[in-house]
Amino acid sequence: MAMVSEQQLERCFELGLKSFVNEAQFFTCLLNAMVYVHAPVSDDSKNVRLIQFRHPDGFDAIPFFTSAHRSERAASRAVRTIHLPCAELLKATLGATLMVNPNDGGAVLYPEEVRVLLRTGTLDTFEKVESENGFAVRPAENLPSALVETLRMGVAQSPFIKTMFVLEKRPIDGSSAPMTLLLYLGVELKHMERGARAVISAIHNMNPRIDQIIDVAVYDAAGPKPEFINQVGAICMLSPNR
C-alpha cells in the first residue's frame, strides 16, 4: 500500500470515531502513514526517549498524533516533535502501550494489538456494549480444541488475566437465536479493557477463523466472582497458580 497522506489519515480517523465499522480501514491507513510523537527537549540519554502520560485507567501510554495540528495542540515548550512512519514507531516501541490522538477520543493500542497490526496490516473491529439481561447461561460444552488452545495460549501471555470461564448463553424468551459463547474473565482492575481486547485479538487471529459468535465480559479479579459463576458450576480454565 502506498504511503497515506496526512489528509487521508485524518479523514479515516474521523470516520473511525463515527462508527466502529470504519476502524479496520483506519488502522490500515495508520500503519502506512507518517505520525507525530513527542520527546523531551532536554535529555541526556544516548537513546531517543518518548513522552508518556498516565491514562485515567492507571497505565502509562505513549501518545502519538495523526496530524501536525493535533500534535501542536498537545505539545509544550518542554517537548520536541518527531515526525516518522507509524510502522517505525510501533516497531521501536514494541511492548509499550500507545494511544493515538488522546485528546480527541482516539484508540488505545495495547502491546498485543500492536503485534497483530504489524503482522497483519490491520486490526479487526469489535463493538463495545453494555451488559445485557435476558439470557440464561451454563458452562460451555464440546468446545473446539483449536479455540481452547488459542484461549490458553493467549491468556498465558497476559498475566493480568487471573481467571477465565467459558459459558454458553441463550435468550430466556424461547427465541430461536443461536447459542453464543461467553468468555468471562477476571482481570486486574487497571487492565480490564486490555484483558478483554487481548483475548479478542487472539480469537481474531485464529486460522482458520472459528464460525461462532463469541462475547467477552470482564470483572475485577481482586473482588469476588460474580454469583452466577458459582450458581451454574462453571470451572476456571486457568491453572490454580494464576
Q: Tell me whether residue 128 is in a domain.
A: no
Q: Which residue has the higher pLDDT, 241 or 190?
A: 190
Are 112 and 26 part of one and the same domain? yes
Structural domain of 106: 6-120
Are 145 and 88 part of one and the same domain? no
What pLDDT, in 10s, does the model give residues 156-175? 789 999 999 999 887 766 55
Written as nine digits, the cell of 100 is 493515538
Q: Tell me whether residue 144 is in a domain.
A: yes
Number of domains in the chain: 2
Which residue, 120, 145, 174, sits at the end of a domain? 120
Are 173 and 145 part of one and the same domain? yes
Q: How far apart are CA 98 and CA 102, in angstroms?
A: 9
Q: Tell me whether residue 241 is in a domain.
A: no
Instruction: Report pTM.
Output: 0.76
Are 142 and 215 part of one and the same domain? yes
Q: What is the mean pLDDT of the chain?
A: 87
Which residue, 62, 91, 120, sits at the end of a domain? 120
182-186: average pLDDT:
92
Q: pLDDT band at 26, cuts 50/70/90?
A: very high
Per-residue model confidence (pLDDT) at position 173: 62
Are 48 and 115 part of one and the same domain? yes
Are 114 and 140 part of one and the same domain? no
Q: Tell me whether residue 129 is in a domain.
A: no
Q: pLDDT band at 206, cuts 50/70/90?
A: confident
Long-range Cβ contacts of 127-134 (<8 Å, 24+ apart): 127/20, 128/20, 131/217, 134/171, 134/172, 134/173
Per-residue model confidence (pLDDT) at position 130: 57
Nearest to 154 by CA among 213, 205, 107: 205
Per-residue model confidence (pLDDT) at position 133: 60
What pLDDT, in 10s, does the model give residues 57-110? 888 999 999 999 999 999 998 899 999 999 999 999 999 999 999 999 999 999
Are 171 and 102 part of one and the same domain? no
Residues 6+ apart with CB under 8 A from 51: 37, 38, 39, 40, 62, 63, 79
Residue 201 maps to which CATH number? Answer: 3.30.70
Residues 6+ apart with CB under 8 A from 87: 31, 32, 118
How many residues does this entry show for the chain? 242
Are 93 and 164 part of one and the same domain? no
Are 86 and 37 part of one and the same domain? yes
Are 113 and 146 part of one and the same domain? no
For residues 147 and 56, is the Cβ–Cβ distance under 8 A?
A: no
Q: Tell me whether residue 62 is in a domain.
A: yes
Q: pLDDT band at 135, cuts 50/70/90?
A: confident
Q: Tell me whether residue 139 is in a domain.
A: yes
Per-residue model confidence (pLDDT) at position 105: 92
Q: Tell me whether residue 179 is in a domain.
A: yes
Are 141 and 187 part of one and the same domain? yes
Q: Tell me whether residue 240 is in a domain.
A: no
Least confident of 38-42, 178-182, 197-201: 178-182
What pLDDT, in 10s, does the model give residues 232-241? 888 888 765 5
Per-residue model confidence (pLDDT) at position 38: 96
